[in-house]
Chains A and B, each alone.
Chain A
Amino acid sequence: MKYIIAIIQPDRLDEVLDALEEKQIHLVTVTSVMGRGRQKGVSEVYRSVKEGGSLLRKTKIEIAVNDEFAATAVEAITKGGRTGKIGDGKIFVLDMAQCVRIRTGETDHVAVG
């Protein structure tokens, strides 16, 4: 089982969700986050005082998948999230130790799907 965390551009969220949907991956968690990669932030100006190196708004997607779906999910996120410009974000794939569905108590392979 893999746990996939992707940081993407907020305006690519719909495209990424569509791409995941196409591959039958429906279960996702999405949060609005702030961060800074190589793109750096956009500096802001308040009453002529320049605030340097602030953070940019990003969207974080988290997906738990069974091993056979991991590559497909990464592919879908890449396809939906890529604009080719700096700031498109990153995907992190982690090994997942356990998964429990709260309603039924099912675990691991069944619970992830």
Chain B
Amino acid sequence: MYRQMRLAGAIAGLCLGIAALFVSPIRAEATESDAATANAVQVSPAESLPASEAAPAATIDSGDTAWVLVSAALVLFMTPGLAFFYGGLVRRKNMLSVLMQCYMLMAIITIQWVTVGYSLAFGPTIGGWIGSLKWAFLNGVGVTPNPDYSATVPHQAFMIYQGMFAIITPGLILGAFAERMRFSSFCVFSVLWATLVYAPVCHWVWGLGGFIRNMGALDFAGGAVVHVNAGIAALATAIVLGKRKGFPTRMSPPHNLPFAVLGAGMLWFGWFGFNAGSALGAGALATTAFVNTQIAAAAAGLGWAIMDYIYNRHATMLGMITGAVGGLVAITPAAGFVTPMGAIGIGLSVSLICYIAVTFLKPKFGYDDTLDAFGVHGVGGFWGAIATGLWASTAINPAGNNGLFYGNAGLLLTQLKATLIVTVYSLVVSIILLKLVDAVLGLRVDEDSERLGLDLSEHRESAYTLIE
């Protein structure tokens, strides 16, 4: 009886929420006859980065729009990729919990993004700190291009493309607290984190008037916004939630490594949308980012395999995919600013640095970062931001800047400063949010549930049957 009442209450609440959405004034904008005007104007695809004052007239380009829409789909594809990457690495009794968390983010963050998230991240700035709620419920976000961000693609294409980033970023964090967090607490924490950490940091770095953007820091596709941000939050969750029962002496090997390899492949594939899509146009800059992405992933996968061989006398499959993902993380902020040879340097160096973080740092400090979300995304993302300050070249992207290797030490300092700001903010606010959710709902499942596995305790399902 009580359960039914609670269910009825939840449904009523949901209906009210949906009704509120329709009441809010959604301004429909006339669809432009984009086919007719396409190709008429050649606009530089480098438009979005960094601050461009005088924006050209907004004309939809069909090639650019096609690429941004395909990229949005590619970035979305990374989240199920992440689900399999992480899912393959956990124990079999927790497989579904990881898949479910990823899918829940695809649902819950999409709604958060179109209601408030996008407006907070990209809406008209309030002092460089946060977007206003002027674009809440996509009010005024139609198909007419917004020249401040992307002059040649419809505003909604840009919005949904950025929304895919907002989905995967909290997804990266779950690698650190896998196998022990309550599902309800996970949902609440993720929405709070997306609203109070992701949206502001996104605004600082990418929003028009954002203060980190105005500092001149370079972040092509989200090294600081996505990877450092999520990686540091991952460290916070690993510390606040504590170790899993039996860690580190009694941990099983990954329950299905081929799934992890499949997921890593989906991530690698989707990352072309993530990085090359960030050019927000189909042209030279997208090609640069695409090529650099491939090179860095390859160099880092190779680098990790070599490290594995030197240290363990065997190249391992898990090492290979960890390295490749590390390379993709590190090239993310640099993709549109460095030369192909710079991408090799970034890939090789990040595999070495992440290898040290995962193999030596984690055991030394004893935090239980279940799937190395901090070790790969936090550390790799941080190095990527620094590496951008080393290898960036205006010969590649005139809208960027020269790094230390091209005679400009200033950029390195700016990169370091920007990344440290994101690190401190993400760490502090993540810990506060975790403590808050812990006080209200409790973060961890009880010991019996952890033993039984989250698939059964949280979802009442099993991933695999043993008989039939």
Chain A residues close to B by CB (< 8 Å): 9, 11, 14, 32-34, 42-46, 55, 57, 85
Q: Are B461 and A44 in contact (CB under 8 A)?
A: yes
A9-B451, A11-B451, A14-B250 given; A44·B466 CB < 8 A: no
Is B462 interfacial (CB-CB < 8 Å)?
yes
Q: Are B456 and A42 in contact (CB under 8 A)?
A: yes
Complex Cα spacing A3 to B467, Å = 25
Complex Cα spacing A42 to B456, Å = 7
Q: Give B457's nearest chain A residue, CB to CB.
A: A42
Q: Are A32 and B466 in contact (CB under 8 A)?
A: yes
Q: Are B460 and A42 in contact (CB under 8 A)?
A: yes
Is B452 interfacial (CB-CB < 8 Å)?
yes
A32: B residues at CB distance < 8 A: 466
Q: Are A45 and B460 in contact (CB under 8 A)?
A: yes
Q: Give A44's nearest chain B residue, CB to CB.
A: B460
Would you mind naming 17 contact pairs between A and B with Cβ atoms under 8 Å apart? A11-B245, A11-B246, A14-B246, A33-B466, A34-B467, A42-B456, A42-B457, A42-B460, A43-B460, A44-B456, A44-B460, A44-B461, A44-B462, A45-B461, A55-B467, A57-B93, A85-B448
Q: Which residues 431-468 of B sit at the A interface, judged by CB distance below 8 A?
A: 448, 451-452, 456-457, 460-462, 466-467
Complex Cα spacing A56 to B123, Å = 52
Complex Cα spacing A90 to B456, Å = 23
Complex Cα spacing A44 to B448, Å = 17
B461: A residues at CB distance < 8 A: 44-46
Measured CB to CB, the closest approach of chain A to B445, in angstroms, equals 14
Please tell me the number of chain B residues within 8 Å of chain A, measured between CB atoms. 14
Complex Cα spacing A45 to B461, Å = 6
Q: Give A55's nearest chain B residue, CB to CB.
A: B467
Of the listed residues B448, B451, B467, the one surrounded by the most CB atoms of chain A closer than 10 A to its CB is B451
Q: Are A34 and B460 in contact (CB under 8 A)?
A: no
Q: Are A34 and B466 in contact (CB under 8 A)?
A: yes
Q: 8 new A-B pairs (CB below 8 Å) besides A32-B466, A42-B460, A57-B93?
A: A11-B451, A33-B466, A42-B452, A42-B456, A42-B457, A45-B460, A46-B461, A57-B466
A34: B residues at CB distance < 8 A: 466-467
Q: Give A41's nearest chain B residue, CB to CB.
A: B456
Measured CB to CB, the closest approach of chain B to A83, in angstroms, equals 9
Complex Cα spacing A75 to B342, Å = 63
Q: Give B459's nearest chain A residue, CB to CB.
A: A45
Complex Cα spacing A34 to B457, Å = 17
Complex Cα spacing A42 to B462, Å = 10
B452: A residues at CB distance < 8 A: 42
A11: B residues at CB distance < 8 A: 245-246, 451
Measured CB to CB, the closest approach of chain A to B90, in angstroms, equals 14
Of the listed residues B448, B460, B467, the one surrounded by the most CB atoms of chain A closer than 10 A to its CB is B460
Complex Cα spacing A55 to B93, Å = 14
Complex Cα spacing A55 to B460, Å = 13
Q: Give A51's nearest chain B residue, CB to CB.
A: B460
B246: A residues at CB distance < 8 A: 11, 14
Q: Which residues 70-125 of B sit at the A interface, judged by CB distance below 8 A?
A: 93
Complex Cα spacing A32 to B466, Å = 8
Measured CB to CB, the closest approach of chain B to A82, in angstroms, equals 14
A43: B residues at CB distance < 8 A: 460
Complex Cα spacing A42 to B458, Å = 12
Complex Cα spacing A72 to B457, Å = 35
A46: B residues at CB distance < 8 A: 461
Complex Cα spacing A42 to B460, Å = 8
A85: B residues at CB distance < 8 A: 448
Complex Cα spacing A113 to B468, Å = 37
Complex Cα spacing A5 to B156, Å = 64
Complex Cα spacing A46 to B448, Å = 22
Complex Cα spacing A32 to B91, Å = 14
Q: Give B456's nearest chain A residue, CB to CB.
A: A42
A14: B residues at CB distance < 8 A: 246, 250
Complex Cα spacing A11 to B91, Å = 12
Measured CB to CB, the closest approach of chain B to A17, in angstroms, equals 10
Contact with A along B298-320 (1 / 0, CB 8 A): 00000000000000000000000
Q: Give B448's nearest chain A residue, CB to CB.
A: A85
Q: Give A43's nearest chain B residue, CB to CB.
A: B460
B451: A residues at CB distance < 8 A: 9, 11
Measured CB to CB, the closest approach of chain A to B336, in angstroms, equals 45
Complex Cα spacing A9 to B457, Å = 16
Complex Cα spacing A68 to B315, Å = 47
Complex Cα spacing A34 to B461, Å = 15
